[in-house]
Amino acid sequence: MRFDAKVALVTGGSRGIGREIAKAFAARGAKVAVHYRRDLAAAQATERLLDGEGHIIVKADIAQAAAVKQMVDTVAERMGKIDILVNNAGIYEELPLPEASYEEWVEYFPRILSVNLYGAANAIYCAAQHMMKQGGGRIVNISSRGAFRGEPVAPAYGASKAGLNSLGQSLAKLLAPHNIFIGTVAPGFVETDMAAKRLSQPDGDEIRRQSPLNRVAKPEEVAHVAVFLASEGAEFTTGTIVDVNGASYLRS
């Protein structure tokens, strides 16, 4: 599958899953806008890894609605359009309820949802405005296995990803008549900076054994599915959620 002449905006594209997604689209001919929040050096490193020319870097705090709009509009202005949006930016924090004060609890949920759910929703809204004028587009949301099996020590993270799943399905129904198609990828643990600390702890081997493959996913395996969902010919998968968890959690 090729994405020649297509423009893809990848949020959280400076490292981990986002970097591999950006690389995958560029390798197939797309021009990629690599979003980052703070680490310019990492975003620049990603840009240098991309095949082809015409890629750009954009900075934004996804938790800030105005910044999201500015990011999307900047990409559309500088690159001429937006064909593909990948909502990959996300944050993970643990806060087990028995250990949390009420003050910590009420601050925790808005902090996580502002990026993982509200930020993604705002990016979809802004990108969809351009896509509707262009005659269509593709949106891929990066969710999590935790949306289905629960995240006991990171409940806001699990809730945010469950919300993202529902958001994608709702808007898939709404936007299909505008030729905007939405797919969601739900990975389990992935070899990224965000998961490194957890995987290096004593229960890291137990996490790996959750899959019959006895390992966690590689970022490029998530990228492979994101590319498929954004490709021509995948329109009838709109609204779908694809598990990429190595059979570590099976849902009916």
CA 56 vs. chain centroid, Å, equals: 18
Closest CA to 10 of 27, 46, 35: 35
Closest CA to 140 of 209, 84, 99, 178: 84
Closest CA to 227 of 26, 11, 45: 26
92 catalytic per annotation: no
> In 3-state terms, what secondary structure has residue 186?
strand
Neighbours of 108 (CB within 10 A): 19
Gyration radius (Cα) of the chain, Å: 17
Q: What values do phi and psi take at 100, rounded to 5?
A: -100, 140
Catalytic residue among 36, 108, 118, 157: 157
Closest CA to 70 of 134, 123, 135: 123
- Residues tagged active-site: 157
